[in-house]
Amino acid sequence: MKTKKRLSLLLAAALTMTTALTGCGGSQQTTSSAAPAPASSTPAASGAAGFSADATIGVALPWLGTQNWKEADEMFRAQLEAAGFKAIVQHADNKVPQQQQQIESMIQNGAKVIVVGPVDGSQLGAVLEEAKAAGISVIGYDRLIENTTGIDGVVQFGSIKTGELQGQALLDGLAAQKGKGPYNIELFGGGPADPNAPNFFKGAMKVLQPKIDDGTLVVVSGQTDFTQCATMDWDNSKAQSRMDSLLSGFYSNKEIDGVLSPNDGIARAIITASEQAGQKIPVVSGLDAENESVEWIWSGKQYSTVAKPTDVLVGKTIEIIKSLQAGKGMPAPDSTVNNGKKDVGVYELAPIVVTKENAKEVFAKDPGRLALLK
Ligand code: BGC
């Protein structure tokens, strides 16, 4: 029959195309005849077909304003090249349109996987749907990407857990350094566009709220909502201005005992403002184990930080990219999180709290940071 013949011709043409494409090694197979993925995997639309071992991989970072992102920039370049891939690694200077354009150009340049640390978790929907339609796998890095189906998984340190460690460290530090309570404290959050920031705050409040309720902790300003405490764009100077105002407005005849800080840059801004206001240094939490804060912890100026080693996060991401390259799809995730549009697989790593007491232990295998402890 005519139609049958046309169908078989079409099929033959499709087969030849697939073979030709596979033969040149650079393209993804999009036919449904691909071998079924292993039961444990949740392959991306195209990931199950694999791609060339020297394919282009895009990495879109939000900015290089904190040490962890600078490390990610260097490590992705080095480790992707070492794994045989061509790497396009860019950062967007905290600007949403710039990041959208960078991802757009990674799509145009034939990237097979795009790794994204979003500037704003909810502003990449359109460009990532486009990546998805082009058969590109998208991995969220450190931060979740929200309100899009164009994400195949996210690699991160537990963000609620990180906040819990920050809140607990603040409580422990107050008990260790500020005698018996009640303690006067203030709360700071990170950049509201970053989906990690409300989670860090939420995790911390899980630990702190009961102590506020029973009177052990007094938030003298009364500012306890994330929106009141957030620091636009994670900008240290904005945190320092808010701390200056809190101290002049509420602490002219009071001592401040402790401050919840979402990362190390903001912790140092808070400590500097406190010193300038003539306060004794309060107990301050942190995040990232930035070199300068590791030194401040060692000298007793900052109480704690939370380490989330960049090499481990980058290593895990590259492991996933290799699985996609080999045609094994996304590995089985540790858990899932709903991003507003779909359940996203989470590859979750464990953050570690660091104080002067355990710093040598935590950094035993990190010669750079270990050298700062002297
Ligand atoms: C990261 C932190 C970082 C912050 C500001 C967060 O999403 O998890 O490590 O300090 O962004 O750059």
Q: What is the pLDDT of residues 202-214, one digit of tens each?
A: 999 999 999 999 9
Which range marks the domain in which residue 53 is found? 47-151+310-349
Domain co-membership, 301 together with 168: yes
336 phi, psi to nearest 5 deg: -130, 155
Count of other CB atoms within 10 angstroms of residue 94 = 19
Q: Is residue 89 within 8 Å of residue 57, measured between CB atoms?
A: no
More confident residue, 170 or 49: 170
Residue 181 has pLDDT above 60, yes or no: yes
The answer to whether residue 22 sits within a structural domain is no
Spatial separation of the C-alpha atoms in residues 339 and 342, rounded to whole Å: 6
Domain co-membership, 168 together with 210: yes
As a whole number, mean pLDDT of residues 69-93 equals 98
Contacts of 99 (CB under 8 A, 6+ apart): 60, 62, 92, 116, 118, 119, 124
How many alpha carbons fall within 13 Å on the CB side of residue 126?
7
Spatial separation of the C-alpha atoms in residues 26 and 21, rounded to whole Å: 7
Span from the CA of 134 to the centroid of ligand 1 (angstroms): 30
Domain co-membership, 301 together with 176: yes
Number of domains in the chain: 2
**Ligand 1 pocket, CB under 6 A:** 65-66, 68-69, 142-143, 190, 194, 196, 234, 263, 287-288
Domain co-membership, 365 together with 218: yes
The answer to whether residue 117 sits within a structural domain is yes
Contacts of 110 (CB under 8 A, 6+ apart): 26, 55, 56
State which ligand 1 atom lies nearest to the alpha carbon of 117: 7
pLDDT of amino acid 49: 83
Span from the CA of 56 to the centroid of ligand 1 (angstroms): 26
pTM as predicted: 0.88
Alpha-carbon torsion angle 223, 228, 234, 238, nearest 10: -80
- Residue with CA nearest ligand 1 atom 1: 142
Q: Which residues is 56 bridged to in the sheet?
A: 86
The number of residues making up the chain comes to 374
As a whole number, mean pLDDT of residues 158-167 equals 98
Domain co-membership, 249 together with 295: yes
